[in-house]
Amino acid sequence: MSKPHIHVAVGVIIRDNGEILLGQRPKGKPWEDWWEFPGGKIEAGESVHQALCRELKEELDIEVEQATPWVNFVHEYPKNIVHLAFWKVTRWQGTPKGLENQQLAWTLPESAEQLGQLLPASLPPLKWLTTPNRYVISAIGSAANAPAWLEKLDTLLDRGIRLFQLREPNWDEGPKAESLKALMQETHQRCQQKGARLLINSIHPKAWWSLADGVQLKAQDALLLEERPLSEDKLIGISAHNLADLLYANILRADFVVLGHVLPTVSHPNQPPLGWETFAQLGAEAGLPIFAIGGMNETLLPVAQQNGAHGIAGISGW
Ligand SMILES: Nc1nc2c([nH]c(=O)n2[C@H]2C[C@H](O)[C@@H](COP(=O)(O)OP(=O)(O)OP(=O)(O)O)O2)c(=O)[nH]1
Ligand SMILES: [Mg+2]
């Protein structure tokens, strides 16, 4: 017999200091005592947003004021298949109370598992939450431009950017040059000092990926792989342009996807942009956090998030 599908609206309620709210499932429900994000089943005729607001009122007595779609994630349990629509809730009225006699706890994502066992499908969001939401991509070109790049890097680190990508298809000595490797190592060291991460585009040698914090795979390079190419402690991003790329990112168990280009951009003048509507539709199928790329700048981060993005990525615009 085929398993039933359950559609659930889930609130990832986030305080300004990064803490999230978890609740312990009440006695008598399936998975009693396991920790989860507040939320519950979407009823017939309800939108996800309506279900989210209703569930958070019923379970916590809060009124949602600001919420954005984040990741739709499917998980197969022994008895059913759950479709979890994770939404970020960033503003609400009232103080959460356990109206179903459930225990509640505020915790940083990295400490959440100290509370006790979390539902299996609720573990991936803890890792996603540690992924920064602004992703800066290099375009340095040559060793002569290295001082200007390092100065820009320091400025961006000071501004709180915590995710970078080295991507130098047009490096004057070629993308495998020793001069570029040396600059990669200097860049990585400066990132490490500030707790930022540096990914290496897959046009560069594979040996560099694990010297840094992981890889950003071009879509066609991802398709050549059969499994996740690096261990869980590294980050894997995949550049996607269509639904097939997104689904393949899932198979490779990537950490996130960069999807675009969303708006017109000088780097792809002859290809039509996706636009926000298509971005949102495709993103809803990804099952992973998504960065919007193409014509982005920081003022567009809220727009991107309203359209389901985890964050924004780009070369210029910082
Ligand atoms: N709320 C929530 N549900 C989750 C999470 N992770 C996860 O696998 N689930 C699963 C467990 C359940 O099978 C389903 C949610 O159903 P539920 O029992 O909470 O639904 P509900 O609040 O509407 O409760 P009820 O009225 O049906 O008793 O989704 C999570 O983080 N939060
Ligand atoms: Mg519930």
Q: Percentage of the chain surpassing pLDDT 70?
A: 100
Partner residues linked to 149 by β-bridges: none
Amino acid, res. 180 = L
Those residues whose C-beta lies under 8 Å from the C-beta of residue 35, and which sit 6 or more positions away, are 22, 23, 24, 25, 105, 112, 115, 116, 117, 118, 119, 122
10 lines ligand 1 (CB under 6 A): yes
8 lines ligand 1 (CB under 6 A): yes
Q: How confident is the model at residue 245 (pLDDT cuts 50, 70, 90)?
A: very high
Q: Are strands 235-240 and 214-217 parallel, antiparallel or unpaired?
A: parallel
245 lines ligand 1 (CB under 6 A): no
Nearest ligand (C-alpha, residue 11): 1
121 lines ligand 1 (CB under 6 A): yes
Q: How confident is the model at residue 298 (pLDDT cuts 50, 70, 90)?
A: very high
Summarised one tens digit per residue, pLDDT across range 37-77 is 999 999 999 999 999 999 999 999 999 999 999 999 999 99
Nearest ligand (C-alpha, residue 22): 1
165 lines ligand 1 (CB under 6 A): no
Question: Which CATH number does 5-124 carry?
Answer: 3.90.79.10
- Mean residue pLDDT across the chain: 96
- Sorted by where each begins, the domain ranges of the chain are 5-124, 134-314
Amino acid, res. 304 = A
Q: How confident is the model at residue 265 (pLDDT cuts 50, 70, 90)?
A: confident
Q: Is the pLDDT of residue 291 over 80?
A: yes
> What does the pLDDT read at residue 145?
98
C-alpha torsion sign, points 207, 212, 217, 223: positive
Q: How confident is the model at residue 179 (pLDDT cuts 50, 70, 90)?
A: very high
Of 190, 210, 194, the closest CA to residue 147 belongs to 190
- Which tokens hold the place of 253? 């168990």
- Which tokens hold the place of 259? 């999807």
Q: How confident is the model at residue 271 (pLDDT cuts 50, 70, 90)?
A: confident
For ligand 1, pick from 41, 70, 127 the residue to mutate: most ligand atoms within 8 Å of CB: 41
ipTM: 0.95
Q: How confident is the model at residue 266 (pLDDT cuts 50, 70, 90)?
A: confident
Any idea of the CA torsion for 105, 107, 110, 115, to the nearest 10 degrees? -30
Cα of 170 to ligand 2 centre, how many Å?
52
Nearest ligand (C-alpha, residue 42): 1
* Same fold across 5-124 and 134-314: no
Cα of 126 to ligand 1 centre, how many Å?
17
Cα of 121 to ligand 2 centre, how many Å?
14
Q: Is the pLDDT of residue 267 over 90?
A: no
Q: Is the pLDDT of residue 269 over 90?
A: no
For ligand 1, pick from 3, 7, 36, 52 the residue to mutate: most ligand atoms within 8 Å of CB: 36
Residue showing tokens 């615009």: 317
Q: Is the pLDDT of residue 144 over 80?
A: yes
Pick the CATH number of 134-314 from 1.10.760.10, 3.20.20.70, 3.40.718.10, 1.10.10.10: 3.20.20.70
Nearest ligand (C-alpha, residue 98): 2
> What does the pLDDT read at residue 270?
84
CA-proximal residue: ligand 1, atom 19 (nearest): 40
